[in-house]
Every structure is written in structure tokens, then in C-alpha cells.
Structure 1
Amino acid sequence: MTQQSLAAAVRSLMPRAKADLAELVAFPSVADPRQFPVEECEKAARWVADALAAEGLTGVRLIDTPDGTQSVYAELPGPAGAPTVLLYSHYDVQPPLDDAGWHSPAFELTERDGRWYGRGAADCKGNLLMHLTALRALRATDGSYPVGLKVIVEGSEEQGTGGLERYAEAHPGLLAADAIVIGDTGNFAAGLPTVTASLRGMTVVELAITTLGGNLHSGAFGGAAPDALQILVRVLASLHDEHGDVAVQGLRTDQAWSGVEYTEEQFRADARVLDGVELTGTGSVADRLWARPSVTVLGIDAPPVIGATSSVQSAAKALVSLRIPPGTALKPAQDALVAHLEAAVPFGAQAVVTRLSGGEPFSADTTGPAYEAMGAAMLEAFGKEMVASGEGGSIPLCNTLRTLYPQAEIVLIGVEEPTTQIHAVNESVDPLELERMALTEALFLQKYASLHN
């Protein structure tokens, strides 16, 4: 089969990809029953299972994982002597956040200015359609697949509750493969074929401050009564120095990134930084994003502005995320963050730091045959040489897979690029990026199989 026939097959499948993505986006599959009914995740899982079965995969089943969610598994043996490739994605999504901030309904795929908008359109339902479209194109042009296939589609990646990791550890043969393609990242820039060579690890902690038996009138008691919200703000401010670098003792902040560079001009455009607002931190943008730790305040429990009263706050709470680069171990980094928060609390306020989710950083070995095949596939699909970049996000499953299958190559790709706005309002995917990445994956499966002949 020629590259042209495969490209034509992928192109002809794009209307179906859009229709399927619209069906998937319509499920508000947020894996948090406090926000959305668990039935929505179950419906999304069943949709994925049916889609995989329709493409000829066997052994399709729903797996109940220890965190109470479902993953979807499917497989298909390959030709004699062919390698086995595991394809990964996840069907759960981030909550929509501010409904009023969306220009179209979050759970309704909407085309606007050549892009497809909706929660999960890129992360990660768009990547799931990348897998499906690649498989469909191979079946349409060759009637079969050149490799043995395993597919795992997770149901709680965004929540970081680790259900699939624990299940894989308890069933170590399930996901064994020669190469693992993680469809949950994307290209450094639209049209620039990219593999993600490193991921930062992450830990999340909750900090709760209590100072009084209850709120007090700020006129009668303010000035002497310790305000929990003010103390919380002061502690959070101590996490960074005057330059915006992480100021947690025990965490290095001088590492340098040696791969593709990220210009400040491009980053400002991608991040939509307002005119006159300076970037935080020192070193290159790539250093700050991919080689050094970062701390983010994810949320604060405090009275909203509308409806606030003249009160000294007796309690306040924050959720704090720490991202750590390869070369930094999770446990010591988490210990350093907790110690910093506890030591920074002034006035003897009562403070409780609770450790929540966490995952180790990941660094890929890009020298094996799977990367050779991926580079050749990307060159054909995009007409450009493959580059390697870092990713500030975390995918804890990668380290679980590396531990279970040290001989397997792990390759991270996807349809996401800086303008997709994953985890934010108005998330979208560029259909051309989806088309080119689906073609890339189909070509990769062919080329990887040929390296084993």
C-alpha cells in the first residue's frame, strides 16, 4: 500500500471522525461523581468498547479499576512474527469550568473558524479518534493490521486517582507490548511533528488554615484577630521568590533544557499573555516548562466577592500542585513542599497539609526502532523532520508501564498543540492536525512492523 492511498483513506474518514467526536464530546465524562453523574462515564466507556469492536478487535471488555472507574481494553493478535503495539488514550475529561466562558456549549462539538470546539475535543477524545482513524484507514486500504494490537482507554486519567496503574500492577501481563504509543500529548506547534521526550511528575497537596472558632465582624475584631485567609495568602506567596522561581528549599531551579527551544515571543502568543505582563521565572522558557519545578495554586476555598460580608475569616483552604522534572524524585519533592508550607504558617495558626495524588516524572529513550519508525512516519505525513520536546504535564501511567515492561519503547504523540487550550474553556482541536496525526500513526504501524520482518 502506498503512502498516497493511506493518506486518501484517512482524508475520506475525517467526516466520520468528526461525527464520532461529536458523539463522544456529548458525554460529560468527568470522573468525579460530585460534579457529574457516573453514568456519563459509563456511557462513554461503552461507546469506546463498541467502536473498538467495530474495527475487528477482540477481547473487548470493560475493566473495573480500583478507583471505582472503568477502563476499556481490546486486543487483536498480529501476523506471525509481528510485534505487538499498545495504543493508549483516555475518555474522561476535565470539568468545563466556567460555562459562561465558553463561546459554544462545552459538551456540544461546534465548528468555528476551521476548528472543532468542545471539552475533550483534543484532550483526550481527539487522541482517541486519532487511534480509531488510523486503524480504520489501515483496514480500508489493506483489510487488516500489520502488527498485533492492544488498546487501553482509561477512565480516570484527569483525576489522577491511579486506578489503571494499580490494575496493571495486579495484572502485569495485560498491557505487555513491544512498543507503547501514548496518545495524550501533541505537537510543539501545529504542523511540526513532535514526540514528547519527557514529562514532569506531579504532586498535589491541600493546605487548610484555621485560626478562630468562627468568623468575626471585621470592624469589631479586625486588626487583632488572626485572619485565616490572609495567612493562607501569605503562605502561598512564599512559594516563589521575587523573580517567580520556586522558592521551596530542597528543590533545584537551575536545570537547563537541551532539546527544541521555545521562544518567548511564541510562548506569549501560545499562552495569550496580555501586553505589558511579564513572564515569571528565570532561564529560558523551555528551562522553566520542561527542566525545572513549578508550583501552581489550583484553587482556594474562600468567600466569593459577590455576597462577601465584613468578616475576619476563621478558616481557609487551598489546593497546591507541584510539577517536578525528570531527575527529581517524587517523595523527596513532596516532603520538601509539605515542610515549606508547614514552616511558612505564621502566628501559630493551625495548619493541616494533606497529601493527595502524585506521580513520578518520565524521560523516554528515543534511540530505538519505534522512534526510528515514528520519525519516518512523521516525515512522510508532515513533510518535516520529527522533533522532540518536553511536556509540563504528567502521565503517571508512563512510569508504571516502564517498570512493568522495561523492554518496551514508550512513544508519546497526539493531536494537542499549544492553541488547543486543554483544561481551559473553549478547548478545541485542529481537524488538519487530527488528520495528519492519524496518518502518522497508520504509517508508524506499517513501518514498525517492517523493521521486524
Structure 2
Amino acid sequence: MTRQSAIDKATEYFETGAFQTDLAHLVSYRTEIQNPAPEARAEALRYLTETMLPRLEAMGFVCELLENPDPKGGPLLIGERVEGADLPTILTYGHGDTVLGQEGMWRDGLKPWEITEEGERLYGRGTADNKGQHLINIAALECVLATRGSLGFNTRIVLEMSEEVGSVGLPEVFRAYKDRLSADVLIASDGPRLQPDVPTMFMGSRGGTTFDLLVETHEGAHHSGNWGGLLADPAMILAHALACITDKRGQIKVPEWRPDSLTDAVREALRDLPVTGGEGPAVDPDWGEESLTPAERVFGWNSFAVLAMVSGVPEAPVNAISGWARATCQLRYVVGTDPAGILPALRRHLDAHGFERVHIRPHDRGFFAATRLDPTHPWAQFVGVSIRETAGDLHVLPNLAGSLPNDSFTDILGLPTIWVPHSYRGCSQHAPNEHVLKPVCRDALRVMAGVFWDIGAKTPPGKEVAA
């Protein structure tokens, strides 16, 4: 049997409709971990016990279900398939939890917990984030195993049900099970491809910090005719405070929020990457750091965003000056930014500009730290060569623009991390009408079958002497 035989088997899995059938079954589980109801936690456990556990055990994995040490999180599954002490060990990962289904907000004819096929799209909550992605990787492992009779390496897997609430409990589990999760490399999938027709590989992610800015000036709301010009307007104060954080094109003005990690090597890695075009909104060329390319702005720099902003009662405005205004804000940051210093730096900046009345309230939800692996790392090179052999081309990013629990793998388990995403930027993840593209899924199955075949057939990094 050959590498091509495994890739052909992965292609057959897609073209016979088996992938679509399996994905529809996974999507049918309402694993919306952001829902605090007990039923949501029970559904998360069912997802692991009824779908993942039997499939992994049929592949020869020894699995264990774990309760989350954090009551806000869902259960976890860890598994292991050992073929030999002298073989490389691969850790893979996925999350079966999703954001809220948002029933009633999807386009007519679409439902979040049912697969709907339209042309090249498969609609349903979790198709892109992340049920479809870890299904592809597990199926690719199955294809290699069925073709060769063995994988040629040891495999460990972590499936969590809390990623959409900040992977609460995952660091504690990793510390407690560090020996059982030891590996040579993490190879997993989440996030989007840079362009749908070319595979993407990234080796880290931006971090994120979310917080509210709140201005409270007086009790209640008071008539704007009687009190206009006498009462401070909290919305105006907040608007000017926000305007001192960036300039009119979104360039960051908080000194400590401007990173120093956009090195020549990172710039070279990002050079000529196509971040414009394709589905989704058009990139605004006049937004963000003026001296940077679009790729450098999103993958090599920090970005500040106002996620929501409110004062008074927008849906029923009255002639009154509100006593409060609030903006929910977020900083996405790259390696080189001190996470612990983000909000203290903002406090100093606001005070220096006369906005002592603006309060900063961090969100309780945990977020992930920034990570980045050098694109020249041997494992990145190994996986990159394999993907190019199968697909012919590859986009390599030092880190994802979004955030992932990658810091738990790098900082606690000490692993090099390779992510090969199986979605695309127009997939509407976290929104109504989430979907995956069938050509991307087919291509991803082939790519991952090739990667897993090569790990078992060639001499991977770190095993040169033993070979």
C-alpha cells in the first residue's frame, strides 16, 4: 500500500457521502457550552460518549472521560494509541462545543442543528468551528490505519467542550496529566485558511483581552432641554476617550500596545500573503497601521476594536441625557505584548489624557495568550513539505489572527504547535449561517491523510539518530 492509497481512501470517504453523514450526526448535538442550562452540559457529555468515544476506541485508542475542574466548563476526553516506544508521538486536539445556535436568526431554510447542503456549502452550527475540523483529522487517521494496518507513530488526543468559554479548566487538566499528554508535536486544526483553494499552516495565535469602558455621570436620565449644557454627557466623554486610544484610521496610540516583535524574519514570512479578495467583506486599505501591509496588520501587529457601544435606550430614545455609557472593547495582541500590562497601560493612557472618569472593567471570561513558532522549526518544515506534496501549494503564517488555547500546549506541555485549518474566512463561524465548503473538506481530508502517512513513513524531526 502507498501514500496515494491512503489519500484515495480519504477522497472516497468524502465522495461517497460518508463525511457529510458523519458531520450531520455531530452537528445534531446541541453542544452550545455558552448556554448555562444543565441540559447544555449534559449534551456536551453525550457528544463525547456517543460519538467520539466509540469511534476512537474502534481505532485502538484507550480513552478516559474527565470532569472539568472548572464548573463553568464542560467535560473532556483524552485518549492514547501506542504502537512503539521508539516511535514519534503526535498529539492532536479538537473541541466539540459551539457558540449559541442563534435559532431564528438563520436564513430561511437553514437550521443550526441540521446539515443543509446547498451547492458547495454545508450549513450547520459547528460545521466549521470545530466539529468538521476534528472529524477530518480523525477520519484521515482512520484512512492511514486502514491502508497500512498501522499508523507508524503513537497518537494522543484531547477533545474538550469548553473552548468557546475560553477553554476553562484546560490548563489545570494539562498540568495534572502532563506526562500522559507528552508528545513530540501538536498537529491540530481550527480557524480558517487564508484563501479557500490553498491549504494554510500556522504555528501560533494572537492573544486577546476583552473589557468594558464605563462612564457614569449622574443618577437616572434627565430632560435634555432642562439639563442640556448643565449635565456631563457620558456618551460624549466615552467617545472622546475611545478616540484617544487610536487615531481616526485605527492606529494604536497606547505606547505599550505597540509591539516590537514584527521582526524582519516575520515580515519575510508574511510577504506577499494574499489577505484580500475571496468571500467576506472587502479589506479597507486605509484602516490600521499605515506603515504596514495588510498581512502585517492582521498577523504581525495588535488591533483594537469596539465590539459594542451603548448609552440610554437606543431602541426607544427619549429627550433625556443618560447617566451612563458603556463600550465593550477588545485588544488582539501578538507575541511581544505583556498580557498583564495591557489594562494598566490603558489606565495610565486614559488618565494622562484627562479621562479619569472612565472605568475599566475586565471581563470574567478567560482568553488565550499570544504564541508563535518560528516557521523554520523542523516540524513546521516537515509538515509543510508534506502538504505541498499533496496540494502543490501552501500559505504559512507565523500565527493565526484569532485566538486559540495554544498557550496551554506551548507553555504547559512544551510542544511545538502546527495548526492546519480546514475552514475559510467567509464561513460565518460564531454567526448565523455557519458553513463549510465541500471542496475545502475534500482537499483537507487528502492533505491530512498525506501528513499522517508521512509521519509514519519518513524520518520525522528528532528521530534522525534513532533511524
TM over 0.5: yes
Q: 1:295 aligns with which of 286, 301, 304?
A: 304
Q: Within the alignment, does 1:152 sit opposite 2:152 as a pair?
A: no
Matched residue, 1:405? 413
Q: Deviations over 1:328-363 (max 9, x none)?
A: 2212234223433565574x6462423543432111
- Within 2, Cα distance between the matches of 1:45 and 1:303? 44
- Within 2, Cα distance between the matches of 1:37 and 1:345? 45
- Within 1, Cα distance between the matches of 2:353 and 2:95? 38
Matched residue, 1:86? 91
- Within 2, Cα distance between the matches of 1:120 and 1:341? 40
Matched residue, 2:61? 57
Question: Which stretches in structure 2 are left out of the alignment for 5+ residues?
Answer: none
- Within 1, Cα distance between the matches of 2:313 and 2:57? 48
Q: Secondary structure at the match of 2:255?
A: coil
- Provide closer, same or farther for how the CA distance between residues 188 and 68 of structure 1 changes in structure 2, counting only shifts above 3 A: closer
Contact conserved, 2:33 with 2:73, CA < 8 A, in 1?
A: no
Please show how residues 34-433 of structure 1 align to structure 2 within 5 Å.
34=36, 37-46=40-49, 47-66=51-70, 67-96=72-101, 99-100=104-105, 102=107, 104-252=110-258, 255=262, 257-261=267-271, 267=276, 269-273=278-282, 278-282=286-290, 283-302=292-311, 305-341=314-350, 346=355, 349=357, 351-354=359-362, 356=364, 357-385=366-394, 387-388=396-397, 390-395=399-404, 397-406=405-414, 408-433=415-440
Q: Deviations over 1:384-425 (max 9, x none)?
A: 356345421122x3222222333x331111202223233333
Matched residue, 1:20? 22
Query: What amino acid sits opposite 2:348 in the alignment?
Result: A
- Provide closer, same or farther for how the CA distance between residues 20 and 236 of structure 1 changes in structure 2, counting only shifts above 3 A: farther
Compute the displacement of 1:263 (Å): 6.7
- Provide closer, same or farther for how the CA distance between residues 391 and 101 of structure 1 changes in structure 2, counting only shifts above 3 A: same
- Provide closer, same or farther for how the CA distance between residues 268 and 233 of structure 1 changes in structure 2, counting only shifts above 3 A: farther
- Provide closer, same or farther for how the CA distance between residues 262 and 91 of structure 1 changes in structure 2, counting only shifts above 3 A: farther
Compute the displacement of 1:251 (Å): 2.1
- Within 2, Cα distance between the matches of 1:342 and 1:182? 43
Compute the displacement of 1:21 (Å): 1.5
Contact conserved, 2:312 with 2:324, CA < 8 A, in 1?
A: no
Q: Secondary structure at the match of 2:21?
A: helix
Compute the displacement of 1:76 (Å): 1.1
- Within 2, Cα distance between the matches of 1:93 and 1:345? 41
Compute the displacement of 1:277 (Å): 8.6
Query: What amino acid sits opposite 2:243 in the alignment?
Result: A
- Within 2, Cα distance between the matches of 1:310 and 1:96? 37
Q: Deviations over 1:91-126 (max 9, x none)?
A: 122335584354522332211221112222112112
- Provide closer, same or farther for how the CA distance between residues 253 and 388 of structure 1 changes in structure 2, counting only shifts above 3 A: closer
- Within 2, Cα distance between the matches of 1:338 and 1:97? 35
Compute the displacement of 1:86 (Å): 0.5
Relative to structure 2, which stretch is displaced further, 331-340 or 173-182?
Answer: 331-340
- Within 2, Cα distance between the matches of 1:344 and 1:268? 39
- Provide closer, same or farther for how the CA distance between residues 141 and 174 of structure 1 changes in structure 2, counting only shifts above 3 A: same
- Within 2, Cα distance between the matches of 1:329 and 1:109? 42
- Provide closer, same or farther for how the CA distance between residues 16 and 308 of structure 1 changes in structure 2, counting only shifts above 3 A: farther
Compute the displacement of 1:134 (Å): 0.8
Query: What amino acid sits opposite 2:135 in the alignment?
Result: L
Relative to structure 2, which stretch is displaced further, 381-390 or 315-324?
Answer: 381-390
Compute the displacement of 1:378 (Å): 0.7
Query: What amino acid sits opposite 1:138 in the alignment?
Result: V
Relative to structure 2, which stretch is displaced further, 47-56 or 97-106?
Answer: 97-106
Question: Which stretches in structure 1 are left out of the alignment for 5+ residues?
Answer: none
Q: Secondary structure at the match of 1:225?
A: coil
Compute the displacement of 1:70 (Å): 1.4
Contact conserved, 2:73 with 2:167, CA < 8 A, in 1?
A: no
Contact conserved, 1:212 with 1:314, CA < 8 A, in 2?
A: yes
TM-score norm. by structure 1 comes to 0.88
